[in-house]
A = this chain, B = another copy of it.
Amino acid sequence: MAQIHIDYNQILQLEKQKRVHLINSLGGFKSVALVGTSDKNKNTNLSIFSSFFHIGANPPLIGMIFRPSPPERDTMRNILDTGFYTVNHINESIFKKAHQTSARYEKGVSEFDATGLNSEFKNDFFAPFVAESKVQLGIEFKQKIDISINNTMMIIGEIVQIYIPENCLFDDGFIDLEKANTITCSGLDSYHKTLQLDRLSYAKPDKEITSLL
């Protein structure tokens, strides 16, 4: 297999959109989900993000990255104004509608209405869930960290509500996301379903790894 080598100067000299596609592809397959928010007047907003990461289990924390403002970031403003948001997994039946939420709609247009995805309010949680999502998380905003190096922002939230399909939860706490039809993405615009290779036992220096399946 022939490899291409691209060095730092070549990266910087790439045409802008080509660099954006390339660098977005390099991190590997990504956690992609729809973030639902409401403003103070209960106007809903929905937007796709692919920069989620695990920060800790106790307390249960999830992180995500926001690109610099301006332009105005409705999702970020709603999170800071109201303190709540939802993270909704994307499945094969809704990935095109999910992608469409990234269009720059006029002020006042909810991406729920524009894409045909349905909002769902439950358990008195302030922000809207996506009814079509099978794995839905209610998140409470905890901290905003400015990343000065390129003016992006990290938002840290605590997972306070979990909705998952009954038949996807294992006794040990593992969730079979594949059975829940959760998909993944790569780059800016490529969507993928998955095929499980294996679940592996806890690794120890003196022990052969075994399959947990």
A residues near B (Cβ < 8 Å) are 1-8, 11-12, 14, 16-33, 50-63, 65, 67, 89, 92, 95-96, 99-106, 109, 114, 123, 134-135, 137, 142-143, 145, 147, 149-150, 152, 154, 156, 159-167, 169-170, 172-175, 177-178, 182-184, 186-205, 207, 209, 212
Contacts and interface: CB of A to CB of B under 8 A. Distances in A.
Contacts of A172: 17-18, 21
B31 A54 contact: no
B6 A162 contact: yes
Interface SS of chain A: helix, strand, loop or mixed? mixed
Number of chain copies forming the complex: 2
Nearest to A137: B26
A70 to B, nearest CB: 16
Contacts of A190: 174, 196, 198-200
Contacts of A89: 28
B178 A5 contact: no
A32 B28 contact: yes
A172 B5 CA distance: 17
Given A145-B147, A173-B22, A100 B209 contact: yes
Contacts of A53: 27, 30, 51-53, 63, 65
B31 A166 contact: no
B194 A193 contact: yes
Given A99-B200, A203-B102, A33 B28 contact: yes
A140 to B, nearest CB: 8
